[in-house]
Amino acid sequence: MADNSTTTIRATFDTRAAADLAVEHLVQQQGISRPDIFVRSASDRNTAGSAPSGGDASHDQGARRDAPLRGEIEVSADIASSQVAAVQHSLGEAGALNVSGR
């Protein structure tokens, strides 16, 4: 009998760039449909992460100071239980600070 159960996996990232990379890993490496992946602030505050990245970090005068760096970004997806180990590995490669499933 096949195991058709699903689990929600969540990972937190310190930059939006790392969260975006994680989404690409899930889509390209794990075959998860993009509409099934969710990206949001890990807290109730608007945030672009907890560290400058991408365009916020690449200015001649140093990192921009006006980006809302107020906490981590969460990436989550409902996946087949059989994918948990592979998805955890992909999220880790993308720079996840913390990965959990339930």
Q: Helix (H, G, I), strand (E, B), or coil: what is residue 99?
A: strand
pLDDT at 60: 60
Place 1 in a pLDDT band, splitting at 50, 70 and 90.
Answer: very low
* Lowest mean pLDDT segment, chosen from 24-33, 43-52, 83-92: 43-52
Determine the pLDDT at residue 73. Answer: 87
Query: According to the model, what pLDDT value does residue 58 have?
Result: 56
What is the pTM for the complete model shown?
A: 0.75
| Amino acid 48: pLDDT | 57
